[in-house]
């Protein structure tokens, strides 16, 4: 793929950046047409700077010289009264449901081992209880570990069900076992990465059930929410859990061939998710996570904007969730 950039002056000042994306393998005729289109865009911008009166009898546009604006007509001042807008507390949402955790049995021995381990560890019981104490829901949302036939996790809006696949947990375990230092516990890393993914899918559930707005890609929004919930939940482990998930996204991405990168996918690329999460963790506590820059995990150029970036996303999610927070949270 070739990128051709050209900067052009705007009528009111500044620059207009024209980007032509020329796919490899374009014919010479195609390149010529693209070049002609670029020149026409430049001409159109130049012409836009000239005032236009309208078409003449031949249908051509008549251009007239610019004239200064006439002086404003004096207007008698009118006495106005300020509007009285009393502060209104957002209504509290009636809590009618909870996230409900369950484990489905499997015919696969490895999956059943994970089922037993997850039940005995009660790791996700604590996570689900914490989220239920935090936010009100209009109905119950089953959270089910089960066989899926693929390594995945998803929220089913038609069934209001959140699914975490045993295949995903097994794949994470193998991923960390092959790519982490000997002193690191791959099972612990697997739990942490799965925890982030749970919060990510819970974000989809909240957007659906609470009808929350999203101005960008929903997948990016729920990555933000998962990171926000982990960082702000009040324990020291939260930021590390988010970074653990970021590492999983980077490891997954490293296994893909360049031709396999899904630029069309609704999810950001693994490398992008890694740097986004690292940025938000750093942005919440630059002093505490200065090692992310010192160790060249997070580029300094990105780190400059991270505190402001995290502030904006945290304020956005805090305001979106405020009407649905339970008393005392």
Report whether pLDDT(9) > 70.
no
Helices (H) and strands (E) in the chain, counts: 11, 8
C-alpha dihedral, 311 to 317 to 321 to 325, nearest 10°: -50
Residue 139, number of CB atoms within 10 A of its CB: 9
The answer to which of 58-67, 288-297, 319-328 has the lowest mean pLDDT is 58-67
Top pLDDT among 174 and 35 is at 174
Residue 251, number of CB atoms within 10 A of its CB: 18
Query: What percent of the chain lies above the pLDDT cut of 90?
Result: 57
104: Cβ contacts below 8 Å, ≥ 6 apart: 115, 144, 145, 146, 147
Report whether pLDDT(247) > 60.
yes
Mean of the per-residue pLDDT values of the chain: 76
CA distance 282 to 126: 26
Dump pLDDT digits (tens) for 94-133.
889 999 999 999 989 999 999 999 999 999 999 999 999 9
Report whether pLDDT(30) > 70.
no
Helices (H), 182-324: 186-209, 218-232, 237-254, 270-284, 291-294, 300-303, 306-321
CA distances from residue 181 to 47, 131, 175, 189 in whole angstroms, order as listed = 63, 32, 12, 12
The answer to which of 30-34, 76-80, 251-255, 285-289 has the lowest mean pLDDT is 30-34
CB 205 within 8 A of CB 141: yes
Q: Closest Cα partner for 136 from 326, 329, 320?
A: 326
The whole-model pTM stands at 0.70
CA distance 222 to 242: 13
């Amino acid at each position: 793929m070739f990128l051709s950039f050209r900067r052009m002056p705007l009528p009111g000042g500044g620059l207009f950046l024209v980007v032509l994306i020329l796919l490899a393998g374009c014919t010479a005729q195609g390149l010529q047409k693209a070049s002609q289109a670029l020149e026409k865009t430049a001409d159109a911008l130049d012409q836009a700077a000239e005032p236009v009166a309208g078409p003449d009898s031949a249908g051509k546009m008549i251009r007239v010289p610019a004239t200064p604006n006439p002086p404003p007509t004096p207007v008698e001042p009118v006495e106005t009264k300020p509007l009285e807008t009393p502060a209104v507390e957002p209504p509290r949402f009636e809590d009618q449901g909870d996230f409900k955790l369950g484990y489905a049995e499997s015919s696969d021995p490895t999956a059943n081992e994970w089922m037993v381990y997850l039940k005995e560890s009660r790791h996700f019981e604590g996570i689900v209880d914490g989220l239920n104490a935090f936010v009100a829901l209009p109905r119950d949302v089953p959270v089910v570990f089960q066989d899926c036939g693929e390594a995945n996790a998803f929220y089913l809006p038609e069934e209001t069900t959140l699914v975490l696949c045993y295949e995903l947990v097994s794949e994470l375990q193998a991923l960390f076992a092959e790519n982490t230092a000997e002193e690191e516990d791959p099972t612990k890393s697997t739990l942490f990465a799965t925890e982030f993914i749970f919060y990510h899918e819970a974000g989809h559930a909240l957007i659906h059930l609470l009808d929350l707005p999203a101005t960008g890609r929903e997948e990016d929004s729920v990555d933000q929410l998962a990171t926000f919930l982990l960082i702000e939940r009040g324990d020291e482990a939260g930021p590390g859990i988010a970074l653990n998930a970021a590492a999983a996204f980077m490891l997954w991405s490293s296994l893909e061939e360049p031709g396999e990168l899904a630029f069309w996918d609704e999810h950001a690329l693994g490398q992008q998710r890694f740097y986004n999460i690292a940025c938000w963790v750093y942005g919440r506590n630059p002093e505490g996570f200065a090692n992310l820059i010192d160790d060249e995990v997070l580029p300094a150029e990105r780190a400059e904007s991270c505190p402001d970036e995290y502030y904006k996303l945290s304020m956005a999610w805090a305001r979106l969730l405020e009407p649905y927070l339970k008393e005392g949270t």
